[in-house]
Amino acid sequence: MIERGMKLPNDSVNRILSAFNSVELGDPRRAERLDNTLRRLAESPRSTIPDAMGTEAELEGAYRFFRSPHVTLEALTLAHAEATAARARKAGRVLAIHDTTTCEFAHAEPAEVGYLSTGKAGFMAHYALIVADDESRRPLGVANTEVIFRDRPPARPSKNGRKLRNKSGVESSKDPNRESLRWSRGFTQTSQRLEGCTVIHVADREGDAYELLGTAIEQGLRLVIRCRVPDRRATSKSGEKSTVQAIAEASEGLFTRNVELSTRAARSEPRARKNHPPRLGRTAKLSFSATTVEIMRPRYLDSLPETLSLNMVRVWEQNPPAAEQPIEWLLFTTEPVSTQAEVEAVVDIYRARWLIEECNKAIKTGCRYEERQFEGRQALLNLFALTLPIACELLWLRSCCRSRPSMPARDVLTPTQLQILRSLGSYKLSANPTAHDALWAVAALGGHIRSNGEPGWLVLHRGLAKLLAYEEGWLARENAPGLSISR
């Protein structure tokens, strides 16, 4: 079966192409090849590259483009960042959501592509997704991208369980090339590129580092970051010395709110499973409190202030089901937290962080990036740069189906696909279905049960694959001479 993928509307394709209007590749023929290759990939994000290109000549041209030493990740992502900044300035106020994701390539050699912590081939991609800070939470693009390669396999554990490390395997706090500095670089570069609009930086627990917090505060950046080290030494606003966790628990609850929690499947990676354990969907009654805390500088840092003063919001579940782990967030922020509305605003900003997790899925599942059969680092990086704006558009389209459910289904699916869903799908479509109807019809093909709530990427992937298989047979029969299809 040829998997062409869900066809994106022309408006979406044009927005993706506009992300690279300012790129400089040194030759107009490369710019033309970029436009043509990107258009074909954007029109069918889940297609294989040979299927997307269509002809042998176009395929060869695309391969030459991706492997060209004159085409670089830096040039492509800079052009995308400039287009993102222009959209951000129109929005006025945005969230910069930072995260690191791993890209694994089962077909590649680690010595060529790089080593992951598992020893497999791949690299880490750190980027900042820019999202409109309004009810739409529209992804506007990526403002900063940094790829981290490890050219050596991970240290192996010794017989006593400790890892065998040499000097090159230890990340010193004085090392200017240490991986952890990607967070500070990302915050700084994103702020510089988004000059002229209001930016609030958002990060999960990996962003909780004194060096990052101190550098960001020195630069006057606005932050919402989840606490990773609750036993860190701290001082309460009354002057009592304790830990961050103890100070948070001593602060008085301000209000409660019922929040719907989605089901979360178990993850295979031990660290991810520990930080994000599996759970069943439920309605959780959450309590909220806020205070000010002064955290102490670690002993190994001497170039930053001895203490940092931050506002802190605590969100916790007092009576979780017996078999479930209670919800608890500790959020450091520079935003005001003196009223219920201000506390709710901080929590809602952090809740938007899930969008970058969805963007990671759009890159890997929606665009099938890790399945691309390039074996060289250069080609994989250039393809990653072209994948980012496509993933942002896919994320926006799926979000539209949820936040703008009344938009026409024809903006998401082709007429043939809609006809197939009416004839073969279990979800009944009206004469003029909405995008939300189309989303649920595709999910139903993938085995989604309506009582399970909104469909996720995997069930949509299964439904889309089945829809495309039906479409191949439908079109083949429709185009066969002497055959007709009863409607």
Q: Where are the domains of the chain?
A: 404-479
- Would you say 335 and 222 are in contact if contact means Cβ atoms under 8 Å apart? yes
178-198 in b/e form (b: 16+ CB < 10 A) is: eeebbbbebbebbbebbeebe
pLDDT tens track, the chain, 487 positions: 333 445 667 778 888 899 898 898 989 999 999 999 998 888 878 788 988 888 899 999 999 999 999 999 999 999 999 999 999 999 999 999 999 999 999 999 999 999 999 999 999 999 999 999 998 888 999 999 999 999 999 876 555 555 444 444 445 556 667 898 999 999 999 999 999 999 999 999 999 999 999 999 999 999 999 999 999 999 999 999 999 999 999 998 889 988 877 666 666 565 555 666 676 667 888 999 999 999 999 888 877 889 999 999 999 988 888 877 888 999 999 999 999 999 999 999 999 999 999 999 989 988 889 998 888 899 999 999 999 998 998 888 777 776 677 878 877 777 888 888 888 888 888 888 888 888 888 888 888 887 777 776 667 767 776 787 787 777 777 766 555 444 4
Pairing of strands 93-104, 198-203: parallel
- Domain 404-479: CATH superfamily, name plus number: Transferase Inhibitor Protein From Tn5; Chain (1.10.740.10)
Both tokens of 4, joined, read: 């062409």
Longest alpha-carbon distance in the chain: 87
Q: Are strands 233-236 and 93-104 parallel, antiparallel or unpaired?
A: unpaired
